[in-house]
Amino acid sequence: MNRRAYLGVDAGSISLNLVLLDADGAVLFEAPYRRIEGNPVAAVGAGLRELRATLPADVEIAAAGVTGSGRHLMAAVIGADVVKNEISAHARAAVHLHPDVQTIFEIGGQDSKVTVVRDGAVVDFAMNLVCAAGTGSFLDAQAKRLNLSIEAFGAMALRAKRPTAIAGRCTVFAESDMIHKQQIGHRQEDIVLGLCHAMVRNFLGNVCRGKEVRPPVLLQGGVSANPGIRRAFEDVLGYPVTVPERHLAMGAIGAALFAARAGVSRTRFRGFAIGEQPVETQGFDCEDCANRCEVVEIVVEGEVIGRAGGRCRKWEATGAAAGEAGESAETLKR
Amino acid sequence: MSALAIQPWGNYALALAASVECLRVEPWTQTSSTPEMLRLGVEASPECSCLSFKASTGHFIRAAMEGVPYGVMVNSRGTCRLRYYREAQQKILWERGLNLHIFGLGYDGFKPPLIRYFDPDPWPFLQCCARARLKTLVVDEIEKQAWRLRARECRPGETTRVMNGCLRALREARTTREIRAVSRGVPERFAGIATDPDRPVLRVGLLGEATVLRDRFLNHNIEDLLGGLGVEVCNFFLLGDEIRNIFHIGFNSPNSRRALRRDAAPWLTTPVGGHATESVAHTVRCAREGFDGVAHICPTGCMPEISIRPILRRISRELDFPILECSFDEHSSHVGFVTRLEAFVDLLHDRRRKRGAA
């Protein structure tokens, strides 16, 4: 009999992560970190090709889960059984791998979140609202200005002796402040650690405001790959912060765990052909109401396999239900 | 016939439209703002003004562009900036060379300025008010059914379709008799919706700032999103109660200002304007009445509602009651909002499971 395995895909704003878990939740496969670079469909195709190349013949995919900000599109593309928000997915994976966790910091490319966990259950969470100054994009922007790769940036932060104080409320002002600090002769590694501190202060001050941050703390999401940020968190909080072994794949692991628990009898996963077939997207503006949503259709071999992007749920209810989905607010206009 | 622009206030727009019939003007309104209106409003408004201001300013600009000569805007007493919105909007319109005169609806003399200007005959005016009041009640009735069924429907979107059908019938109803007939037909229309009796349904209260609570463009369709996640919502901005409180009638109603103040009193005694006292009182009531949680929604920078956020956090801590805070402005990301709603619903399901197990 074939071994059942569960696929998890985390389609974030910057990167796409893909894992395969066995029935006990152990990781069978983790695709290498991949930047989406504007094409999530190509990215998942590449990930699936890699998975197929390493997959033993007796393993079958019993269910698939997706998460991340691009989850709705991704769900249609791969044929997911479970679509989960990234807060719940990250928490699920964290509790699975570190059952004693109390606080999760999840910092991604454009979102940063704090999740408060007590007794293995999420009791509170918060997320950045409009400003990206507490996220990976902030560090990316600053590293570019210093002409450093983001990997070299983290390593350099670890060499710093005294972090330079940098105004990190806003990326633009951080740049002005950083240039000023360079001009008065601060060492570059101190400036780099200063930037990490600025981001951490921003995160703790804005996103975590009013939330009960207690150790053990897990740091996950794309930014957790940066050792400078971990050091800055430990400097500010005064206790160790754990970066889980598979810190980049935590969202995907969570999605796969949810898929495993969902009790799927027959998966909707469309198979590895997704990696081979050309997947096209086309869009239209729905004119049924004043919102004028831009709806995206995913097309494989001339057939619409899913839709995403509407504000009401009528387009997501694919197939026959969509066409007759009903009148909207505007028809009530006098 | 001349026309009068009325601020969109959710489905209550139907009732508000009915209330001006006797003024011999055509009502110009809709059940929600549009992206175009918001864009016009954002361009014209001061940056720090709230989303409600921007949306209603855009609404009046759009109306003026279509040649509507009059508008009406609430400018109620109280410590919220809403008191000055009518004047500010009028100035914005005039500065842009738009000739739309906005009447206030607040207290400035015995008769509101709108009534003074149009001077309707007393008897038709009272009849018209009574019809508008009746329509308000029918809207509430329709929405309550929709809140309940949307969380349980088998085919996504069916409840909304039935609701829109009811609302269209209500819009066409002109006489008291016709409105009553629509009202009687409501349960029957909703009875046809197939529901899933086994689905675990959560109950979540929606409270906060009135316009954002009711304008589904501004609140990103929160009622529909939560309904789709299996949540029965209860929106605590009820126009009928609001009007009763403005005119100080219905002392014994559970939603009278006095009753609400009493429930809010352990946490908030000072009036901070807007619907802040109501938000505190309803949060406490929801916690007592076994709701799973509440979502507190307001425009970013809404002074009264922001002032009570620390109080709501304290209530949440002391009564062990989940509260989701949502602030909206024109930059709010829809995806991020959906993520938070979904995570909140997951959290509530976990709590319920834990309580069931304990």
Write out the two tokens for B202. Answer: 């959560």
What fold, for B199-357? Rossmann fold (3.40.50)
- pLDDT the model gives residue B122: 86
Structure letter (DSSP) for residue B270:
S
Average pLDDT, chain B: 89
**Which contiguous run of DSSP H or E holds residue B36?**
helix B35-44
Residue with tokens 């921003």: A202
> What is the enclosing helix (H) or strand (E) of B26?
strand B26-28
Asked if B174 has any chain A CB less than 8 Å from its own CB, the reply is no
Where does the pLDDT of residue B61 fall: very low under 50, low under 70, confident under 90, or very high at 90 and above? very high
Contact: A313, B161; criterion CB under 8 Å: no
The domain at A99-243 falls in which architecture? 2-Layer Sandwich (3.30)
B107/chain A closest Cα distance in angstroms: 28
Token pair recorded at residue B233: 């919502």
Give the whole-angstrom CA distance, residue B184 versus residue B175: 14
Q: Which residue of A has its CA nearest to B216?
A: A329
With a cut of 80, say whether residue B109 has pLDDT above it.
no
The pLDDT score that the predictor gives to residue B318 is: 93
Q: What is the pLDDT of residue A88?
A: 93
* Residue A174 structure tokens: 């951080």
- The per-residue pLDDT of chain A, averaged, comes to 83
Query: Which residues of chain A neighbour B327 with C-beta distances below 8 Å?
Result: 129
Of residues B340 and B250, more confidence is placed in B340
* Beta-carbon contacts of residue B300 (< 8 Å; ≥ 6 apart): A129, B50, B51, B327, B328, B329, B332
Side chain identity at A330, as an amino acid letter?
A: E
Of A262, A224, A228, whose CA–CA distance to A244 is shortest? Answer: A224
Q: Distance between CA B82 and CA B56 in Å, rounded?
A: 11
Give residue B263's pLDDT.
92
**CA–CA dist A157, A164 (Å, integer):** 11
Higher-pLDDT residue of A179, A110: A179
Among candidates B161, B171, B300 on the partner chain, residue whose Cβ is nearest the Cβ of A326: B161
Is A321's pLDDT higher than 80? Answer: no
pLDDT at A226 over 70: yes
Distance (Å, rounded) from C-alpha A13 to C-alpha A86?
12
Q: A328 falls in which pLDDT band (50, 70, 90)?
A: very low
Q: How far apart are CA A116 and CA B87, in angstroms?
A: 45
Summarize the confidence of residues A184-190 as an average pLDDT. 87
Q: Choosing among B346, B348, B350, which should be mutated to test the A contact, i.e. which has the most A CBs within 10 A?
A: B346
Distance from CA of residue A302 to its chain's centroid? 30
B244 vs B224, higher pLDDT: B224
Least confident of A9-23, A70-84, A299-313, B284-298: A299-313
Inter-chain CB proximity A333 and B30 less than 8 Å: yes
Distance CA A15, CA A13 (A): 6
Structure ipTM: 0.83
Res A331 pLDDT > 90: no
**Which ranges constitute the DSSP H helices of chain A?**
40-54, 71-78, 86-97, 136-145, 150-158, 171-183, 188-202, 227-237, 250-261, 320-323
Residues 259-298 of chain B with CB under 8 A from chain A are none
Pairing of strands B101-104, B70-73: parallel
Residues B1-47 have pLDDT tens digits of 789 999 888 899 999 898 888 888 899 988 888 889 999 999 999 98
Q: How far separated are the first and last CA of chain B, in Å rounded?
A: 66
Q: What are phi and psi of B111, to 5 degrees?
A: -100, 140
Q: Are the Cβ atoms of B31 and A129 closer than 8 angstroms?
A: no
Joined together, the tokens standing for residue A133 give 């100054």
Domain chopping of chain A, boundaries: 3-91+251-275, 99-243, 279-332
Query: pLDDT by residue (tens digit) across B271-290?
Result: 888 889 999 999 999 999 99
* pLDDT over 80 (residue A332): no
pLDDT range class, residue A330, cuts 50, 70, 90: very low
User: Residues A34-49, buried b or exposed e (16+ Cβ, 10 A)?
Assistant: bebeeebbbbbbbbbe
Kindly tell me if the per-residue pLDDT of A77 is higher than 70: yes
Task: Provide the 8-state DSSP code for A207.
Answer: I
CB atoms under 10 Å from CB of B180, counted, come to 13
Give the pLDDT of residue A74: 87
CATH for B3-119 is 3.40.50
Are A332 and B350 in contact (CB < 8 Å)?
Answer: no
pLDDT above 60 (res A327) = no
Q: Quote the tokens at residue B297.
A: 């929604």
**Chain A residues with CB within 8 Å of chain B CB:** 69, 84-88, 111, 121-125, 127, 129-130, 210, 290-292, 311-314, 316-317, 321, 325-334
Helix, strand, coil percentages (3-state) for chain B, rounded to 5, are 55, 10, 35
> Which amino acid, residue A77?
V
The Cα A283–Cα A89 span in angstroms is 29
Q: State the pTM of this model.
A: 0.89
pLDDT in tens, B161-190: 899 999 999 999 989 999 999 999 999 999
What is the band of B55 on the pLDDT scale with cuts at 50, 70, 90?
very high
C-alpha span between B103 and B75 (Å, rounded): 9
Give A125's contacts in chain B (Cβ within 8 Å).
340, 343-344, 347
Q: What pLDDT score does B355 carry?
A: 84
Give the bridge partners for A79, in sequence order.
Answer: none
At B122, give phi and psi (nearest 5°). -60, -45
pLDDT tier, B137 (very low <50, low <70, confident <90, very high otherwise): very high
- Residue B232's pLDDT band, with cuts at 50, 70 and 90, is very high
pLDDT value of position B287: 94
Q: Write down the domain spans for chain B.
A: 3-119, 136-150+153-196, 199-357
Q: Which residue of A has its CA nearest to B26?
A: A334
In this prediction, residue A1 has a pLDDT band, given cuts at 50, 70 and 90, of: low
pLDDT in tens, A119-166: 888 999 988 866 666 677 778 888 888 888 877 888 888 888 888 888
Q: Which residues of B touch A286 (CB under 8 A)?
A: none
Q: Which of A118-127, B112-121, B188-197 has the lowest mean pLDDT?
A: B112-121
- Residue A322's pLDDT is 35
Biggest distance spanned by C-alpha atoms of chain A: 69
CB contact under 8 A, A332 and B164: yes
**Which token pair is A131?**
């400003």
Mean pLDDT value of segment A27-52: 85
pLDDT at site B141? 92
Average pLDDT over residues B84-102: 91
Q: Which CATH number fits domain A3-91+251-275: 3.30.420.40, 3.40.50.10490, 3.40.1210.10, 3.30.70.360?
A: 3.30.420.40
User: Minimum mean pLDDT among A11-20, A274-283, B303-312: which range?
Assistant: A274-283
Please check whether the two domains, B3-119 and B199-357, share a CATH topology.
yes
